[in-house]
Amino acid sequence: MAGGGGAENLWVSAMNRSLDSYLNEYVQLRHAMGHRLKAAEAMIARYLNYLHDINEEVLTVDTAVVWACLPTAAANPTKAAHLSAIRGFAAYVHAHDPLLAALIPAGLIPARATRQQPYIYSDSQVEAMMIGALALRPAVRGLTLQTLIGLMAATGMRTGECLGLNLADIDWPSGILTVSGKNNSTRLVPIHPSTVAALKNYLYLSRAAIPSAEVNSFFIGSTGIRPHPTGLQAAFRTVRENLGYTPRPGGKNPRLHDLRHSFATNALVQAYRDGIDVDVRIAVLATYLGHVSPESTYWYLSSVPELLALVEERVSTAQHQGVLLP
């Protein structure tokens, strides 16, 4: 009886506790497990303040979702991050006092932002854009845009990565670029000899046009310094409009960044046609493109119609032949 009374007293003690009293021990526990909760701790504290403001003492799914969606104009990933922070805290409190905090189901707010369907350029379109770029003035501006288009189409590099190249980042004999990517990451990108030749040609012509150009930067603008992406995006729109490229069904206007998507898509399409293990190709491609995770590369399989059709064809063929896909 004494043991039962002790358990009962502990239960009564837990029932008398407030949500605020659990926050510090929850954070300490997560820290001990190796988690950094600085942002999450601040979110939970703001949520608890919100409950005080609306005179609520219990953590419910409804109040958690409503708070997570404030402000309403926030992006879905932000709202999902807010709810995720509260969800972990709710589970901890629920384990001690089920009446004080409800369990919050996963997936109530989709975490992934909706990405637009990319515009996949054909080889002839890329060639037309490179030719059209040379009509721009000043001439160096057109030459820079032409080379940028060619480099992005040949490597799948991001616009900022290309414009961030320094002369020291190019190993001319080996044909390897040292690329500074997102989150201060660096990767090596091998390029084809024809791309090396095109870069050498750009370097010669651009410096002949502006001998006083910036020493370190590979790409230069009409003033001789490293060009800003905004200016080249505007130049690209001019070329696009001159060529009459318009959005495809379900997509938006073709962008310079879509050259990166075109490179990735063409690499995966070729892998399917050649019968290469696509999972292996995706792992290699993710590294080449500088994706943090192969998940970003797998996105192409479901978002590009050409690839989706090949996937469906492969699955259908395997089903008819009774073959298990790897």
| Residues 195 and 267 occupy one common structural domain | no
Contact 51, 59 (CB under 8 A): yes
For the record, the structure tokens of 189 come out as 């990108």
Q: What are all long-range contacts of 102-110, with beta carbons under 8 Å and residues at least 24 apart?
A: 102/58, 102/59, 102/60, 102/61, 104/61, 104/64, 105/61, 108/61, 108/65, 108/83, 109/65, 109/68, 109/69, 109/76, 109/79, 109/80, 109/83, 110/76, 110/80
- pLDDT value of position 292: 65
Q: Is residue 101 domain-resident?
A: no
Is the pLDDT reported for residue 307 higher than 80? Answer: no
Is the pLDDT reported for residue 298 higher than 60? Answer: no
Average pLDDT over residues 199-206: 96
- pLDDT value of position 112: 64
- pLDDT value of position 147: 97
| Residues 246 and 264 occupy one common structural domain | no
Is the pLDDT reported for residue 6 higher than 60? Answer: no
Segment 253-285, tens digit of pLDDT:
899 999 988 888 888 777 777 777 666 677 777
Is the pLDDT reported for residue 309 higher than 50? Answer: yes
Q: What is the mean pLDDT of the chain?
A: 82
Neighbouring-strand partners of residue 171: 176
Q: Is residue 306 domain-resident?
A: yes
Is the pLDDT reported for residue 89 higher than 50? Answer: yes
What CA–CA distances, in Å, run from 291 to 109, 191, 298?
25, 18, 11
Residue 165, domain extent: 123-255
| Residues 238 and 264 occupy one common structural domain | no
Give the residue with greater pLDDT, 96 vs 275. 96
- pLDDT value of position 286: 75
- pLDDT value of position 127: 96
Segment 29-84, tens digit of pLDDT:
887 777 777 788 899 999 999 999 999 889 998 899 889 888 877 888 888 889 98
Count of CB atoms within 10 A of residue 256's CB? 22
- pLDDT value of position 13: 43
Domain containing 207 — which CATH number? 1.10.443.10
What's the domain count of the chain? 3
| Residues 138 and 238 occupy one common structural domain | yes
| Residues 273 and 247 occupy one common structural domain | no
Segment 110-135, tens digit of pLDDT:
766 556 678 889 999 999 999 999 99
Secondary structure (3-state) at 166: strand
Contact 275, 313 (CB under 8 A): no
H helices of the chain, in order, are: 2-15, 19-32, 38-53, 61-68, 76-96, 123-133, 139-155, 159-163, 193-209, 229-243, 258-274, 278-289, 294-303, 305-321
Neighbouring-strand partners of residue 176: 171, 190
Q: CB neighbours of 287 closer than 8 A, spacing ≥ 6?
A: 187
- pLDDT value of position 208: 95
Give the residue with greater pLDDT, 26 vs 302. 26
Residue 316 burial by Cβ neighbours in a 10 Å radius (0-12, 13-18, 19+):
exposed
Is the pLDDT reported for residue 159 higher than 90? Answer: yes
For the record, the structure tokens of 70 come out as 């404030």
* Calpha distance 68→74 (Å, rounded): 10
Segment 226-236, tens digit of pLDDT:
999 999 999 99
Is the pLDDT reported for residue 316 higher than 70? Answer: no
- pLDDT value of position 5: 46
CA-nearest of 301, 321, 297, 318 to 310 is 301
| Residues 25 and 71 occupy one common structural domain | yes
Give the relative orientation of helices 61-68 and 76-96 as an angle to the nearest 10 degrees: 150
| Residues 173 and 250 occupy one common structural domain | yes
Element (H, E) at 253: none
